Every structure is written in structure tokens, then in C-alpha cells.
Structure 1
Amino acid sequence: MLRQPFEDGYITISRTRATITYPASFILIGAMNPCPCGYAGSNTHYCTCTSRQILSYQNKLSGPLRDRFDINLFLKPVDFKATSEKETESSKTVRKRVEEARNRQYDRYGREICNSRVSYDLLIKTSPLTAEQQRILHQLSTKKNWSNRRQIKIIRLARTISDLQGSIQINDQSIWEAIKLNRQPVLKRGSISV
């Protein structure tokens, strides 16, 4: 049910007497435990799940739906003492960076549309990948068995990261960051590799 609104930004409801289309542009944020017991990859608790149970649990979220998420992260517990000592950007600074990135996108596409909604053809026309970037993406997608949708999501995310950095073209660092933000963790009992 979520596939059409995810892709198109609208939803069509058909009944016997009428078909109605509603706008459905939204941001979906989802969260799930890494395994049934919730402790796979934990440094403080022992996971009691078998590899088969972990795989079965993770497969409850279908591949086609998972491919539609722009960012997939595995989060570890936060050490609040260590975090409070780190220097962080203020919300005002982040907001300014996001507004500048959006304005770059509006200028690039000639209308108020962002990287996530622009057509793939226009995205590639205005921000072509270098031959080396294409080679790396093709090599990784073959090795990891990524769908075309996943590859396009990575390109869109890399373009957005480049916009946030103020870069005119998609740079290599943005490609690697987008790949890192889109990897699926491989969970085994008591350990995690991302």
C-alpha cells in the first residue's frame, strides 16, 4: 500500500463509481530492532537469537519496500557522557545549510523541486557521474546485488550530500557517504558487521 505514495507522491483510490487521487507527499521514518530479542550487535547484552531467527525477523520488511528508504542505518547505544563533550553544530547553522542546499536544487532544476522528487533523467543530465563513479557504483551493485532503485537512491542521496557541502558536482566523498548510509547490516548472533 505504501509503494505508490512513496514513488509518486500521490495515492489513487478506486471505487466502483469513482476514482480519486489525493496528494501524499510525506516523510516516513521507521525503526525496528535488529533481531527478535533486540540485542544483536550490542556490547552490553548477549543476543539469544539464532542466525535463522534474525534473518526471518529482518525479512518481515520486504525488499521492495526496503529499497524505497533513502537512508538505512544501524544505530548502536549512545554514550551520553562522550556525546556531550563533542562539539556539535547548532540547529541554526544546520538550518542555514539546508536552506542553501534547497536553493541550489531549485536553481539547478528551474523550479521548487528537490533531488528526491526530480526525474532521474533530469538528475543525471544536471549532475552526471564521472566514469570512475559509474564504475564503482556498477561494481558494488553487482557484488551486493542492488536493485536499480537502490542505485538511483544512492545517486540522489550523493547529490543531496554534495549540495549540503556546497559542491557543484557529485564528488567521490558524497558517493561513498551515500553508500555508507544505505548499507544493510549483516547480523549474526552476538556480532554485527556493517
Structure 2
Amino acid sequence: MTLVAILLYLSLTALATPTPLHLLTPQLLSLPPTLAPLNQSTPVPPNATTLTARAQCFIQPQDPRAPRLFDADHNDCLVAVRLLPAATTPYTFGRRPDAQVRLPYARSFRTCKVIIDIMDEMETERLRWVDICDTLEAPRGVLNRCLGQVVLPSLGGRTSVGERGAMQAIVVGQAWRAGAAG
């Protein structure tokens, strides 16, 4: 099943079932983590910078009809993030034909896929590639909060990027077998 088919399935089942795919929002030194459905993102305060946006970690869906998520290796994800352009020049990101960077945009390495997308077809966001990479690698970013933790499954997660939070940086695991090309 392709990633597009999985995302389409998840969005359709979100309407039919109460919580097909859950996000895990880990708390430092807290009691059990809070669960929230994928289609209910935590709002980012309007004055939040990209580095203060909180990562939401994926957990395996309980619905047996939902696709199973793959583990993502932290080191593979570091490489996948570094495969994104390292540009420090601001670009306009969006799905519109006039956007400098057309979304969705994805890079992968072995067990990890990084997807940059925007939720609204007409929305655009202006930021630098380096801001996206920094957000993913920040102490509260997806790579540090959702991968390589003993208490969390390493299934990836998502976070808002950009000043308005209209864009999402998503990290997911993907099937990969040792010996296959990266």
C-alpha cells in the first residue's frame, strides 16, 4: 500500500471511527501519556516559533482494519532530514502552482520517511528549509521526542512548521530490509 493510499485510508477511517490512528503527546516526568486522534492536532500559539512547536508522536492504531505503522530508526531519520535541502533562503511552500516549493515533498532513507505538507490547498507558508530541519531535530522535535525513546514506540510523529503553523512536518517509518539500497 502506498503512503498516499495509507493517508487516504486514515483520513476516511477518521470519519468512520472515533480514533483510528492515535497521536501520543509525551510529557516529561509525567503519568501516562495523553492520547489524541490524528485529526485533532494541538493548536500552536500564534506567537510560537518553529522550535517551540510540540511534536505529536504516533502510536499503533487499535482498529484492526487500519494499516500497521512501521518502526523508524532514529539514525535513519537523521539522514532523511539531512537529505532535505539545507537552504537558508526563504521559499514559498504550498500546493498552488505559483509556490516555489510544491507540496507534498518527501525524502526517505532506509526505515524513515520525512514528508512536508500543507493542509489547505490554497494556503502558503514562507520559511527556510533549515527552519524545517531545525524544528524536526529540536529538543522538542519529532526526532528527539518520538524516536529512540524506551517508553515510546518509534513510529514517528508530526509537528507544525512555519509561523502560522499551516505546514506539517511528518516523520513515519517505512518497510526496509537490510541489504536493500537506501
Same fold (TM over 0.5): no
Report TM bin, short chain: under 0.3
> By percentage of residues, which structure has more helix?
1
The normalised TM-score by structure 2 is 0.27
Which has a greater percent of strand?
2
TM-score by length of 1: 0.26
